[in-house]
């Protein structure tokens, strides 16, 4: 178990991460979903709020602390 | 893990996703079509989803156990009938409904039927494996070494056919103390092989039925020295007259090329085609398909033929008659006997037949041991031949 925890800590040593590639956004370790529609996704993270603006948003994967969104991303805003 | 693919209206997806997030329902995959959104969720989460009354949730597909359940429900009758069919097939191919012992002797049949039943080979039982049958055969042969010579258990469909050879202990040769080797037929002596006794005739001597060829009385200077049982073989040229009748015409069949297929059913009391044949004259080739309940089913190929009657020429007729005569004579001959020559004595002809009379010379063993009795004195004996 110690080894497993060490590896986990090594791999996920951040509080959160946001990956963007192509038309996909992958956000890990968010706290809450504030808004979710095909043009705007607002997520509350630990220290800030993330707004993703665009069109034709689609949720490909959704768990309690992880979301994968696909769509035309125009803007991303980070507000405290 | 078991999953469901559910679909909801596209308009409801935002609310649905938020609700899923709030209720800790994991969306593993999603696909969007023109009007509906498909989501892959855990089967365990489905009850939560089904309670979301704002969305019309439809199960589109499933993976794992739910899929198997759905498949079983859909193809229930097909699966059940297939399984029943397989079971029936297994049952029919592994059960024995008849055990038939093939032998002319009723005692042997009864003996073997009982012995087989003791070993578990009886009707309405499961078939035995090859090794088990071999073992049973061995055990039965060991059980009756003086009655059974050979045994074979043949499996044909749902039946066992047991072929058996009865052991015939050779009757002890009757021991005779005093005997001559006597001719059983008239002929010319061609070969004489003897181990005991004294030859009274030599090769090329004419011999008549009942003549002593080898005597059991050994003499020296007209005095009887020893009396024994003469033994040996005497081969002589003997003659026969054989009459053979051969038909002057023969039927020749020629195929027209027309072929019809049919099914032939065959059992002990029935042997007929399933469909009526449309051909007038035909020859049939059959190929066995399967056997069920004592009835064998054949695939039959009927070839139409045209029969023409052909008149045989004289040479052909004589050849046929000679061959027939030789076959007939050979049936009566032993291995060491043979036809020496043959001649045609006469020919009688009718409209349909040719009758040929043959004269045949055969090399045949004509010596037979025959016991004799002596009068009171050895010196003044007179052999008393008795048939």
- Which among B20, B32, B37 has CB closest to A62? B20
DSSP-derived letter for residue A13 is -
Per the domain annotation, does B38 fall within a domain?
Answer: yes
For the record, the structure tokens of B128 come out as: 């035995």
pLDDT tens string B100-140: 998 888 888 898 899 999 888 888 888 888 888 899 999 99
Q: Is B92 left (phi over 0), alpha (psi -120 to 50) or beta?
A: alpha
What is the per-residue pLDDT for B63? 86
Per the domain annotation, does B210 fall within a domain?
Answer: no
Which of B187, B196, B115, B186 minimizes the C-alpha distance to B148? B115
More confident residue, B75 or B55: B75
Written as one string, the DSSP assignment of B121-140 is --TTEEPPPHHHHHHHHHHH
Q: Could you tell me if B299 and B316 lie in one domain? A: no
Residue for token pair 């704002």:
B54
Contact between chains at B26 and A63 (C-beta distance less than 8 A): yes
pLDDT tens string B265-285: 888 777 888 888 888 888 889
Q: Could you tell me if B290 and B337 lie in one domain? A: no
Q: Could you tell me if B51 and B104 lie in one domain? A: no
**Is the CB of residue B190 less than 8 Å from the CB of residue B237?**
yes
Residue for token pair 């049958």:
B133
Per the domain annotation, does B233 fall within a domain?
Answer: no
Q: For residue A33, which residues of chain B lie inside 8 Å, CB to CB?
A: 17-18, 21
Per the domain annotation, does B197 fall within a domain?
Answer: no
Name the pLDDT band for B174 (thresholds 50, 70, 90): low
Q: Is the pLDDT of residue B288 over 50?
A: yes
What is the per-residue pLDDT for B170? 56
Q: Could you tell me if B295 and B316 lie in one domain? A: no
What is the per-residue pLDDT for A13? 58
Q: Is the pLDDT of residue B316 over 80?
A: yes
Name the pLDDT band for A14 (thresholds 50, 70, 90): low
Q: Say how far apart CA B159 and CA B184 lie, in whole Å.
A: 50
Q: For residue B18, which residues of chain A lie inside 8 Å, CB to CB?
A: 33, 36
Q: What is the CATH number of the domain that holds B148?
A: 3.10.20
pLDDT tens string A44-67: 998 899 999 999 898 999 998 899
Q: How many CA atoms lie within 13 A of B143 on its CB side?
A: 14
Which of A42, A32, A47 minimizes the C-alpha distance to A75? A42
More confident residue, B385 or B41: B41
Q: Say how far apart CA B360 and CA B340 lie, in whole Å.
A: 8
Q: What is the CATH number of the domain that holds B60?
A: 3.30.70.120
Nearest Cα of chain A lies from the Cα of B30 at a distance, in angstroms, of: 5
Dihedral Cα B235, B236, B241, B246, nearest 10 deg: 40
What is the per-residue pLDDT for B375? 62
Name the pLDDT band for B290 (thresholds 50, 70, 90): confident
| Domains annotated on chain A, with CATH | 14-79 (2.60.40.2000)
Which of A77, A76, A79, A78 minimizes the C-alpha distance to A23? A76
> 10 Å Cβ neighbour count for B285?
11
Q: For residue B32, which residues of chain A lie inside 8 Å, CB to CB?
A: 58
Question: Average pLDDT, stretch B155-181?
Answer: 79
- Which among A37, A61, A64 has CB closest to B28? A61
Q: Is the pLDDT of residue A20 over 50?
A: yes
Domain hosting B106: range is 95-166
Contact between chains at B27 and A38 (C-beta distance less than 8 A): no
Written as one string, the DSSP assignment of B219-275 is EETTEEEEE-B-EEEEEEEEEEEEEEEEESEEEEEEEEEEEEEEEEEE-SS-EEESS
Per the domain annotation, does B7 fall within a domain?
Answer: yes
Q: Could you tell me if B38 and B99 lie in one domain? A: no
**Boundary residue ending a domain (B146, B166, B186):** B166
Q: How far is CA A6 from CA A2, A28, A29, B58, B169, in A?
A: 6, 19, 18, 43, 92
Average per-residue pLDDT for chain B: 86
Chain A with chain B: Cβ pairs closer than 8 A = 33
For the record, the structure tokens of A47 come out as: 């220290």
Q: Which of B11, B14, B20, B24 to mutate to test the interface with A (most CBs of A within 10 A)?
A: B14
Q: Of A5-19, B171-185, B328-342, give the lowest mean pLDDT range.
A: A5-19
Q: Is the pLDDT of residue B376 over 70?
A: no
For the record, the structure tokens of B62 come out as: 């499933």
DSSP-derived 3-state class of residue B292: strand
Per the domain annotation, does B212 fall within a domain?
Answer: no
Residue of A nearest to B22 (CA): A64
**Boundary residue ending a domain (B144, B166, B188):** B166
Q: Could you tell me if B120 and B141 lie in one domain? A: yes
Domain count within chain B:
4
- A contact set with B (CB within 8 A): 33, 36-38, 58-64
Q: For residue A63, which residues of chain B lie inside 8 Å, CB to CB?
A: 26-27
Per the domain annotation, does B175 fall within a domain?
Answer: no
What is the per-residue pLDDT for B123? 87
What is the per-residue pLDDT for A17? 83
Question: Average pLDDT, stretch B231-239?
Answer: 91
Q: Is the pLDDT of residue B235 over 80?
A: yes
Q: Could you tell me if B100 and B154 lie in one domain? A: yes
Q: Could you tell me if B321 and B291 lie in one domain? A: no
Q: Could you tell me if B297 and B335 lie in one domain? A: no
**Boundary residue ending a domain (B74, B107, B133):** B74
What is the per-residue pLDDT for A7? 78
Per the domain annotation, does B55 fall within a domain?
Answer: yes
Residue of B nearest to A35 (CA): B18
């Amino acid at each position: 178990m110690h080894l497993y925890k060490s590896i986990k800590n090594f791999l996920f040593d951040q509080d959160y991460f946001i990956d963007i590639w192509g038309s996909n956004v992958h956000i890990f370790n968010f706290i809450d979903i504030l808004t979710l529609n095909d043009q705007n996704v607002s997520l509350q993270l630990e220290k800030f709020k993330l707004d993703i603006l665009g069109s034709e948003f689609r949720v490909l994967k959704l768990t309690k602390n992880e979301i994968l969104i696909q769509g035309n991303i125009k803007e991303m805003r980070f507000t405290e | 893990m078991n999953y469901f693919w559910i679909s909801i209206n596209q308009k409801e997806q935002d609310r649905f996703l938020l609700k899923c997030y709030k209720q800790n329902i994991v969306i593993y995959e999603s696909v969007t079509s023109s009007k509906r959104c498909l989501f892959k969720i855990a089967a365990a989460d489905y009850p939560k989803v089904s309670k979301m009354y704002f969305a019309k949730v439809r199960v589109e597909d499933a993976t794992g156990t739910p899929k198997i359940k759905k498949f079983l429900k859909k193809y229930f009758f097909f699966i059940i009938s297939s399984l029943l069919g397989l079971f029936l097939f297994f049952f029919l191919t592994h059960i024995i409904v008849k055990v038939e012992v093939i032998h002319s002797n009723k005692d042997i049949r009864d003996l073997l039927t009982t012995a087989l039943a003791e070993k578990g080979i009886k009707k309405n039982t499961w078939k035995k494996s090859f090794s088990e049958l071999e073992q049973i055969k061995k055990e039965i042969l060991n059980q009756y070494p003086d009655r059974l010579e050979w045994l074979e258990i043949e499996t044909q469909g749902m039946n066992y056919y047991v072929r058996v050879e009865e052991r015939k202990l050779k009757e002890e040769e009757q021991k005779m103390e005093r005997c001559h080797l006597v001719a059983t037929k008239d002929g010319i002596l061609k070969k004489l092989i003897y181990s005991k006794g004294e030859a009274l005739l030599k090769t090329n001597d004419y011999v008549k039925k009942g003549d002593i060829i080898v005597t059991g009385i050994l003499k020296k200077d007209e005095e009887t020295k020893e009396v024994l049982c003469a033994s040996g073989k005497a081969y002589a040229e003997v003659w026969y007259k054989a009459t053979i009748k051969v038909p002057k015409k023969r039927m020749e069949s020629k195929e027209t090329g027309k072929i019809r297929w049919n099914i032939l059913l065959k059992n002990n009391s029935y042997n007929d085609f399933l469909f009526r044949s449309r051909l007038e004259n035909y020859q049939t080739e059959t190929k066995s398909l399967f056997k069920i309940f004592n009835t064998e089913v054949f695939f039959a190929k009927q070839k139409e033929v045209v029969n023409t009657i052909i008149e045989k020429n004289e040479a052909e007729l004589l050849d046929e008659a000679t061959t027939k005569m030789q076959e007939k004579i050979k049936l009566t001959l032993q291995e060491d006997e043979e036809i020496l020559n043959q001649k045609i004595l006469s020919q009688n002809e009718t409209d349909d037949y040719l009758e040929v009379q043959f004269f045949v010379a055969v090399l045949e063993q004509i010596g037979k041991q025959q016991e004799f009795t002596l009068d009171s004195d050895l010196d003044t004996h007179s052999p008393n031949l008795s048939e």
